[in-house]
Amino acid sequence: MSIMKIPESELEVMKVIWGGEIPISSKEIIKILEEKKCWKNTTILTLLSRLAKKKFIAAAKGKKITYYTPIVTENEYLGLETRDFFKKVHGSSLKSFITTLHDNNDITEDDLDKLDKWIRNR
């Protein structure tokens, strides 16, 4: 299955779904996003509808509540975003990526040592 990038608003909804008990109810999703993002009920339902059309989630309608199950996993989507960022921003250069993290103090010498050990054990 080929997945596509989604807008930030839809990603916020997916994070709630990935982080919740599966299946998660529309009621629970709305409660979380109303508190976290101050989004209106209709906005959240529209985003859920878009995600279902894009085959990111499956919807199962109950009597009064719809339940959602992720089709695209968090790891699958994380992989897509990471590959895209790595390619666009760093030209697929691991050296560029690591250098940027190191030069901006986002990665420590300890992190580099762990990365080195991970590479050697592969």
Q: How far is CA 94 from the centre of its chain?
A: 22
- Give CA–CA dist 24/17, Å, rounded: 7
Residue-by-residue pLDDT tens, the chain, 122 positions:
689 999 999 999 999 999 999 999 999 999 999 999 999 999 999 999 999 999 999 999 989 999 999 999 999 999 999 999 999 999 999 899 888 988 998 888 899 899 899 999 99
pTM: 0.84
Q: What is the DSSP letter of 63?
A: S
